[in-house]
Amino acid sequence: MIVHQPEIQVQNGEVCVSARVETRNRYAHFPKILFYKFPERYAENVTDRADAFAAGLLLVAMNLGEDLHIRGSLSPRLFYGMEEYRNLFSVWWPDLFKPVNIESEVLEPLSVQNVKKGVISTFSGGVDSLHTLWRSLPQNQPIPGARVTHGLFIQGFDIPLSQVDKFNQLREKFEALYAGLGLDLISAKTNLREFFVGRIEISKCQSALLSSAALTLSPLISRLYIPSTGADHYVMPHGTSLVGDRLFSTETLEVFHHCATYTRFEKYLEIADWDIAQNHLRVCLDIHGNKSENCSNCWKCYRTMIDLDVLGKLEQFSVFRHPLTVMDYIRWGRWMKVGYGFEKTVLKHCWKVRKELLFPALMGISVGYFRDFLLKVLPQWVQLPIQRLVSPPKTEILFVTTDAGLSDREDNDDH
């Protein structure tokens, strides 16, 4: 795989950094160009270095078994980190990621003099994002240089590029949130996820996706926080982790996996009384809908609502339906992910603090464990229809946008 020299273009009020991607073989759903777009006012803060493109495409190249050849400037620290990231992922998932060679034509760091001291945190409105933001505000972070100055909200990460209205509604809402805190929210668009569709699930490429978008903004920021996704993941193989995320650092931009040891429940405990979280929490996976609010009906909404209900805080969260009934707990069980300890935390808290919720919690957990048991013991042909009934819908295909953004340029490049 060859990643050509990135180019910067300003068009339609946006600054676009893009690079042509060439592969040895032809693949389905494989764009010819990888792009990152930001509002035009950040034109001076983006770089045409290859760091972002190399970091973003490493796992794709490994999955395809193609050596990665980088034509633009690459940070030596990132080069070292990518080699280590390659080693890490080929140890964790040897069948999925092959240990390919990484080559770079120009190894040189970005000059320190050209970098501002911004601290950016990726932001999607979820509990992890809000918790990192909360922990990085001046009242909670005593070290001035560690406080967040910017947020990064990416279209193409969990919101498909085609859902323009949904993204714009959320962007406006979150921009107001950040402005209220005296901070700046940067919105970005990228088609990087399209390279992963059908090859690598999102849970394995989160960090590559988030880091690469931030690396495009290297002249503006010196630190990136990737909110952790659960305390288990700091020791378990996962796409975002304490061991992996840091490897996307460069000489001028350090990547941190933020608050790795916090469980989701502990995060709720910390932010449950924060009015901003109460009014802005967005966890919904109802990806087919074009609404920016939580649907209060998908597995992720249920998981969050149950946690908040058990904590006695659900009423304060205007973004969810309430109150919950026993049926809601049973619906929660229908999609429960057994084995991560979430349900045990809920049960433990009910036992200690909310005994009146023990019955519905036990009902939900029984359903969840029964489903899990069935999925383990039943033959595959019986499992499939059950899975169709009790598994969240697949959403990957929504990220395939063959004509998204740069179709004209793709045609030009072909000639």
Residues 245 and 254: beta-carbon distance below 8 Å:
no
Structure tokens at 42: 């950040």
* Per rule CB under 8 A, count of chain residues that contact another protein: 27
Separation of alpha carbons 37 and 189, rounded Å:
5
Site for another protein in 270-309 (CB under 8 A): none
Q: Is 366 in the site for another protein (CB under 8 A)?
A: no
Binding of another protein at residue 329 (CB under 8 A)? no
Nearer to another protein, 88 or 398 (CB): 88
Name the token pair of 320.
Answer: 């969810």
Task: Tell me if 43 contacts another protein by CB under 8 A.
Answer: no
Residue 133 touching another protein (CB under 8 A)? no
CA distance linking residue 242 with residue 80, whole number of Å: 17
> Is there binding between residue 231 and another protein (CB under 8 A)?
yes
Of 10, 235, 327, 353, the one binding another protein (CB under 8 A) is 235
Chain centroid to Cα 380, Å, comes to 31
38 binds another protein (CB under 8 A): no
Among 10, 40, 76, 117, binds another protein (CB under 8 A): 76
CA 13 to chain centroid? 25
Nearest approach, Cβ of residue 57 and another protein (Å) = 20
Q: Are 253 and 242 in contact (CB under 8 A)?
A: no
Judged by CB under 8 A, does residue 389 bind another protein?
no
Q: Which of 217, 277, 278 has the alpha carbon at shortest distance from 253? A: 217
- Interior/surface letters 251-273, b for 16+ CB within 10 angstroms, e for the rest: bbbbbbbbbbebbbbebbbbbbe
Work out how close the CB of 244 gets to another protein at its nearest, in angstroms, rounded to a whole number: 9
Task: Please report the sign of the dihedral spanned by the C-alpha atoms of residue 354, residue 357, residue 363, residue 368.
Answer: negative
Distance (Å, whole) CA 58 – CA 102: 8
Provide the CA 240 distance to its chain's centre, in angstroms.
9
Pick 76 or 393: Cβ nearer another protein: 76
* Residue 395 in contact with another protein, rule: CB under 8 A: no
Q: Does the protein bind another protein through residue 261 (CB under 8 A)?
A: yes
Report the residue number, 80 or 370, with the smaller CB distance to another protein.
Answer: 80
In the complex, the smallest distance separating the C-beta of residue 353 from another protein, rounded to whole angstroms, is: 20
Can you state the angle between helices 264-271 and 127-135, rounded to 10 degrees? 60
Q: Is 106 in the site for another protein (CB under 8 A)?
A: no
Q: Is 234 in the site for another protein (CB under 8 A)?
A: yes
Pick 81 or 405: Cβ nearer another protein? 81
Q: Which two tokens stand for residue 253?
A: 């931009």
With binding defined as CB under 8 A, does residue 131 bind another protein? no
To another protein, the closest distance from the beta carbon of 6 in angstroms equals: 22
Q: Convert residues 185-204 into a mask of x (bound to another protein by CB under 8 A) and - (unbound).
A: --------------------
| Element holding 121 (H helix, E strand) | strand 118-122
Residue (of 222, 160, 200, 159) closest to 56 by Cα position: 200
84 binds another protein per the rule CB under 8 A: yes
Under the binding rule (CB under 8 A), the answer on residue 312 touching another protein is no
Query: Which chain residues interact with another protein by CB under 8 A?
Result: 76-77, 79-80, 84, 87-88, 90-92, 107, 143-146, 231, 234-235, 237, 242-243, 246, 254, 256, 259-261
